[in-house]
Structure 1
Amino acid sequence: MTAIAALPFLPDAVIFDMDGLMIDSERVSVACWAQAAHELALPLADDFWLRFVGLGDRDCERLLLQHIDAGQVPALFARCHDLYEARTQEGLPLRPGILDLLQLLHDHGIARAVATSTRQPRASRKLAAAGLLPFFEVVVTSSDVVHPKPAPDIYLLAAQKLGKDPARCLALEDSPAGIRAAVGAGMTAIQVPDLVHPDDDLRALGHRIVDSLADAHTLLLPHLR
């Protein structure tokens, strides 16, 4: 790992994104959007769907309306939903290092929450199917807030439900939208990029960027010995 600034404190809580950070689902999601668009003969390039990473349904819809007619959107959402549900029932792999990190936090009694743009009940189903749900005291989704990521609401609500000061929380994210949400909530943030890598504007936020969850694990260790 390239030298990364040490964490300034042992966090009172660690708040995790879900898709692309803990569960390797963003590739599946992007593939389902692309397949649905092809089936419906919509003029959208395959790389267009990377813009959806980390966003809630309303922001995705706003992006779509810049390129296709409003009447085409419901059919696209419905077909993508069906494709994605079929794929997720087959099971989705975990991101490397997530179980070791969650077990470390559990063993040291550090509170844990999920803050995801996925809506309920899909979020809880995916966490349960992946065997991750028992690790978390709180699960906050875009169903629980008016303004999803990149607004800070999801992270602020997760901290509130845990009874923790956001300034004493660590947020782990893969997406630009998620990092903007976490930083906007006043949390210390670590980004583990998956499909979308940080540009100069995102890097200007000053958060830590690492190559893997194992690197995030390493940043926590000095505070746990």
Structure 2
Amino acid sequence: MSPVDFVPEAVLFDMDGLMLDSERAIIDCWREAAIDLQVEVDDDLWFRMIGMHEKDYVPLMLRTMHEDQVRALREACYVRYHQRIEDGIPLHAYVRDVLADLQARAVPRAVVTSTQRLRADRKLATSGIASFFEIVVTGSDVTEPKPAPEGYLKAAAALGVDPARCVVFEDSAFGVRAALAAGMTPIQVPDLIEPDDATRALGHRIVADLAEAYALIR
């Protein structure tokens, strides 16, 4: 895997699945909610929803269940997930090490997430990494979420950095496509879902963990 061929002027991070081990947490909450409400759901649905904005995953749910079931599932899931957030969602490996090193090197850092503002800020706070970031762009701050580039372009503008000089760490195909559309250099660290052939055909770097990703820009 070839290193990035420029010195990044900023590093932008996805949040869920990349830094926080939240994808497993939210899937567990969806499963528990479905069991409690006695709604039969194919487990594949929860995995297909990973990385999706609410405006995209709700129509997906409505293909296989009634609107009242979707509403009840969301409410039951969010009660559980809120408690997980308050307890502090665990970090993935090497997150704090990478953030601390970037901070020590005075490399600007931002979060770009599809999660809504209040929940995103709370996740970062309870997981103990909020102070590492100058800028946080959330789903509340954009008109078009990932895979649209709007969030990443807003982060680069807020940091005063040319998008072409930004490296993005992402776990999902949605995020990779957003970063590429913004003219940035993505490095993908897959979490629960391995990149499919269409994602690999994008030609970006794909690594096993955040330490490997960081080594490509050191």
SS in structure 2 of the partner of residue 196 of structure 1? coil
Q: How does 1:33-112 map to 2 (within 5 A)?
A: 33-112=30-109
- C-alpha contact (below 8 Å) 1:55/1:150 kept by paired residues: no
- C-alpha contact (below 8 Å) 1:176/1:196 kept by paired residues: no
- C-alpha contact (below 8 Å) 2:87/2:126 kept by paired residues: no
Deviation for aligned residue 1:34: 1.6
* Aligned residue among 127, 132, 153 for 1:130: 127
Deviation for aligned residue 1:77: 1.1
**Aligned counterparts of 2:170 and 2:16: Cα–Cα separation in 1:** 9
SS in structure 1 of the partner of residue 8 of structure 2? coil
Could you say which residue in structure 2 is the equivalent of 1:119? Answer: 116
Could you say which residue in structure 2 is the equivalent of 1:168? Answer: 165
Counterpart AA for 2:195: P
Listed one character per residue, the Cα deviations across residues 154-198 of structure 1 (whole Å, up to 9, x for unaligned) are 111111111111111101001111111111111100000010110
- C-alpha contact (below 8 Å) 1:192/1:213 kept by paired residues: yes
Could you say which residue in structure 2 is the equivalent of 1:150? Answer: 147
Please list every run of 5 or more consecutive structure 1 residues that lacks an aligned counterpart in the other structure.
none
Counterpart AA for 2:137: V
SS in structure 1 of the partner of residue 216 of structure 2? helix
The root-mean-square deviation of aligned C-alpha atoms, in Å, is: 1.1
**Aligned counterparts of 2:99 and 2:42: Cα–Cα separation in 1:** 37
**Aligned counterparts of 2:7 and 2:208: Cα–Cα separation in 1:** 21
Listed one character per residue, the Cα deviations across residues 17-60 of structure 1 (whole Å, up to 9, x for unaligned) are 01111111110011111221222222311232011111111111
Q: Say if 2:213 is the partner of 1:216.
A: yes
**Aligned counterparts of 2:77 and 2:8: Cα–Cα separation in 1:** 38
Listed one character per residue, the Cα deviations across residues 114-136 of structure 1 (whole Å, up to 9, x for unaligned) are 00111110101110111111110
SS in structure 2 of the partner of residue 195 of structure 1? coil
**Aligned counterparts of 1:95 and 1:148: Cα–Cα separation in 2:** 23
**Aligned counterparts of 1:87 and 1:209: Cα–Cα separation in 2:** 29
- C-alpha contact (below 8 Å) 1:101/1:214 kept by paired residues: yes
Please list every run of 5 or more consecutive structure 2 residues that lacks an aligned counterpart in the other structure.
none
Which stretch of structure 1 is more off in the superposition, 62-71 or 112-121? 62-71
Which stretch of structure 1 is more off in the superposition, 80-89 or 190-199? 80-89
Could you say which residue in structure 2 is the equivalent of 1:191? Answer: 188
Could you say which residue in structure 2 is the equivalent of 1:141? Answer: 138
SS in structure 2 of the partner of residue 189 of structure 1? strand
Which stretch of structure 1 is more off in the superposition, 37-46 or 155-164? 37-46
Listed one character per residue, the Cα deviations across residues 125-154 of structure 1 (whole Å, up to 9, x for unaligned) are 110111111110000001111111111111
Deviation for aligned residue 1:91: 2.0
TM-score between both structures, scaled by the size of structure 1: 0.93
Aligned length: 218
Counterpart AA for 1:129: T
- C-alpha contact (below 8 Å) 1:12/1:169 kept by paired residues: yes
